[in-house]
Amino acid sequence: MLSIRNLSFRYAAASDAALQEVSLDAARGEVLGLLGPNGAGKTTLIAHLCGLLPIQSGTITLDQLPLSTQLARNPLRIALAPQEYAFYPSLSVVENLACFAGVGSLSGTMKKSRMLECLAFAQLERYSATRADRLSGGLKRRLNLAIAMLHRPELLLFDEPTVGVDPQSRAFLLQAIKKLALEGCAVIYTSHYMEEVEAIADRVVILDRGRVLQQGALDELLSSSSAHLLLAVDGNNNERLVAALSSFGHVTPQRVGVKITLASRDNLARVVAAVEAAGLTISHMRFGDDNLEQLFMSLTHSSLRD
């Protein structure tokens, strides 16, 4: 459905490009998790998808046609649920829905019924007359979601949609987003919370400094990183440990111990033997079973919350 090829963008007066040769795809019925630390280029990418930034280099197509053409024909095919509360705080829930429904193509009974559907989907019926600025953080996020759904978009863009919400609201939002994908929407979901992306994303794109570091199905990415061995020895003698293991592959010192990527699982026994031969005593060892956070850190050398 959505195809981005070699997209590059540099803000005026910026020394570095915000996006460099970014290529990715999103399909209907799929949740694409977009991960990256602050400044990775996620928001710039989303702004491109909403038509808020001009394409400087590369292409974005939606159903084989340039995005600009598709948006000119029907801008409502894509909806944005931005990081901020993108509604009017002094208006009530229903007034906000009516405003954004009216600005889009909806009017009359169609508008009314769609507003009711979205209120029900976001479970906001009880709060329809409440001013938006008097809602809790979780309810505000649900209103954000309800507004984004108004025009039955084919592609939904969520930019950090769960920031500042309680666990119950977060669970509700994730479930709702997953449901939208099951109904046939393409969803692009950016978040700082790895566990969220792991919970709902079918595929993941890891961005850093405007570049795609890795992308693919979540299972594939995690299994590709499962040959990581974390090893610590008594006395935390990393120098001797690095020297003992350097013939097995690239060794990265950690705060406690070292990390080494093994070419093959069969090398595990030989690594243990080499450590013991060097006169070191293993105090901690973990092999495989990486999660997304560990994969991300190994790729970007930083935490998502940096």
What is the binding site for other proteins (CB under 8 A)? 47, 50-52, 71, 75-76, 78-80, 82-91, 95, 98-105, 107, 147, 151
Cα 46 to the chain's mean position, in Å? 11
Nearer to other proteins, 76 or 199 (CB): 76
State in Å, rounded, how far the first CA of the chain is from the last one. 33
Nearer to other proteins, 44 or 300 (CB): 44
Name the minimum Å distance from CB 129 to other proteins.
13
Nearer to other proteins, 27 or 103 (CB): 103
Name the minimum Å distance from CB 104 to other proteins.
5
Nearer to other proteins, 79 or 197 (CB): 79
C-alpha gyration radius of the chain: 23
CA distance 76 to 85: 19
Beta carbons within 8 Å of 231's beta carbon, 6+ residues apart: 241, 245, 257, 258, 259, 260, 271, 275, 282, 284, 285
Nearer to other proteins, 107 or 252 (CB): 107
Nearer to other proteins, 150 or 260 (CB): 150
Name the minimum Å distance from CB 248 to other proteins.
50
Name the minimum Å distance from CB 259 to other proteins.
40
- List Cα–Cα distances, 49 to 46, 160, 194, in angstroms: 5, 16, 23
The sheet with strand 258-261 has its strands ordered as 251-253, 258-261, 228-233, 282-287
Name the minimum Å distance from CB 82 to other proteins.
4
Q: Which residues pair with 187 in a beta bridge?
A: 31, 156
Nearest 5°: CA angle at 155, between 149 and 156?
A: 50
Name the minimum Å distance from CB 249 to other proteins.
46
- Residue 76 tokens read as 């409502």
Name the minimum Å distance from CB 16 to other proteins.
21
Nearer to other proteins, 106 or 251 (CB): 106
CA distance 240 to 280: 8
